[in-house]
Amino acid sequence: MPALETQPGDPLTDSPERAELRRMARKLIEEISPNERTNELDESETFDELLYSKLAELGLLGIDAPEEFGGSGDVRDQLVLVEELAKGPTSMAAFMIAQFAVVQVLAGFGRTPEAREVLKALIAGQTRVSFALSEPDGGTDVARVMKTRAQPVRSGGFLLSGQKTWTSGAAEADWLVVLARSSEIDRSPVEGITMFLVPTHLPGIEIRAIDTFGIHSLSTCDVFLDDVEVAEDAILGDLDRGMRQVFATVNREGLNAAAATLGVGLGALELAVEYAKERSVFGKPVASFQVPQHWMVDAAVQLEAARSLMGRAAEIEVAGGDAGSLASMAKLIASDTAMEISLKGMQLMGGAGYTRASAMQRLFRDGRLWSFSPLNNEMVRNRLGEGWLGLPRSY
Ligand SMILES: Cc1cc2nc3c(=O)[nH]c(=O)nc-3n(C[C@H](O)[C@H](O)[C@H](O)COP(=O)(O)OP(=O)(O)OC[C@H]3O[C@@H](n4cnc5c(N)ncnc54)[C@H](O)[C@@H]3O)c2cc1C
């Protein structure tokens, strides 16, 4: 769909290097993970190891990490890769968002030689790390309800006990970044939480897969911690400051979620446009009727609006400014639109959209994730109400 591409003179057009990255990602996906294979992996709930190893080979697992650890590029490159992956192998986009999150955490707060080695291996594709923040009592307000405890022990280390849930990729991970309450709540629930780097093989850790609606090619897990002993140097950053330390990472996840849902929306729109042109009813292509044409046009407009907001947010972030509100707007519009397109896309395809072989239904299931994660769209609206419009805090 050339109309969806940027044009000369567009201030947010890809730089030549970024355009090359986009071309490379598209070629890779076309060759290795076209929709047919991606659907098979989704059906068998299998991680796309081949695509992952190619991403590692191409040096794309450490975008925006410091060069000394094998990183390159910045947030704008992350967005390109996530968007392109989300159009087809969406589970890999979810994996990359989690990968970029743990890379950011380790690059920012991994001060020990071990943590630095883990970061290098993570970027080289030789180890995997999952991010365990959410808990059974809640993800939105996780600091307030956090029950996982870090109890100091005589050796100077800690015993970790509690349960994490929804941890992406934990079944295949060698390490976990675990946030645990290390001091009782005093003034604010975000204080008194510490972040630890924990090997998954330690005694007392049990990981169980959860059966989810979508993102089937990436495990989503419960993580049980039963008196797991870690040394003091397992701490990432500072004692009791873990929650504050991850704010930037969670915000970046939000911007990457905008890219993911932009990709899901574009993937679904492309499928809808193709199908509508080819399928005839009453002797005419479905595309010739105004109802489908109008919603497809509205969808394209919304996606371009999301791309513009996302691009502005990324430029502001690169310049060191506060991109929070624009990133939130981009995520809202992209995720709402992706859901609408994939739902209407299934309707447009009639029975064909109701089969498991259809990529449209997979995009619908996969894209749902980002309407409530990393922050649900209701809370995104609450924050914009307060921060952008100056309305009273509503939560
Ligand atoms: C596939 C998958 C992968 C995930 N990966 C990870 C991961 O790797 N690491 C991790 O830590 N977490 C992960 N998560 C967890 C995810 O971040 C949480 O699901 C999310 O933060 C929401 O938390 P919750 O599910 O506990 O919903 P809750 O916090 O219980 O919220 C439920 C609903 O209540 C409504 N709501 C909440 N607050 C408000 C409000 N103030 N105003 C209006 N409505 C409100 C919203 O509709 C919200 O969806 C993952 C989840 C899934 C499903």
* Residues in the ligand 1 pocket, defined by CB under 6 Å: 98, 131-134, 138-140, 166-168, 212, 215, 220, 369, 372-374, 376, 378-379, 382, 395
- pLDDT recorded at residue 7: 77
Among protein residues, the one whose CA lies closest to atom 14 of ligand 1:
166
Arithmetic mean of pLDDT, 204-233: 98
The rounded Å distance from CA 216 to ligand 1 centre is 18
Arithmetic mean of pLDDT, 18-30: 97
pLDDT class for 178, splitting at 50, 70, 90? very high
pLDDT class for 132, splitting at 50, 70, 90? very high
- Can you identify the CATH homologous superfamily of domain 2-124? Acyl-CoA dehydrogenase/oxidase, N-terminal domain (1.10.540.10)
Closest by alpha carbon to 92, among 35, 44, 45, 52? 52
Among protein residues, the one whose CA lies closest to atom 43 of ligand 1:
378
Q: Give the CATH class of 244-387.
A: mainly alpha
Among protein residues, the one whose CA lies closest to atom 2 of ligand 1:
166
Among protein residues, the one whose CA lies closest to atom 12 of ligand 1:
134
pLDDT > 70 in the chain, percent: 98
In a 10 Å sphere around its CB, with 0-12 CB exposed, 13-18 middle and 19+ buried, how is residue 15 labelled? Answer: exposed
Q: Are 60 and 81 in contact (CB under 8 A)?
A: yes
Please determine, for residue 54, whether its predicted confidence score (pLDDT) is greater than 50. yes
Domain spans, the chain = 2-124, 129-240, 244-387
Closest by alpha carbon to 299, among 372, 361, 362, 348? 348
Nearest atom, ligand 1, residue 140 CA: 29
The rounded Å distance from CA 164 to ligand 1 centre is 13
Q: 276-310: per-residue pLDDT in tens?
A: 999 999 999 999 999 999 999 999 999 999 999 99
Q: Give the CATH class of 129-240.
A: mainly beta
Scored b (16 or more CB within 10 A) or e, 356-375 reads: eebbbbbbbbbbbbbbebbb
Q: Is the ipTM of this structure higher than 0.95?
A: yes
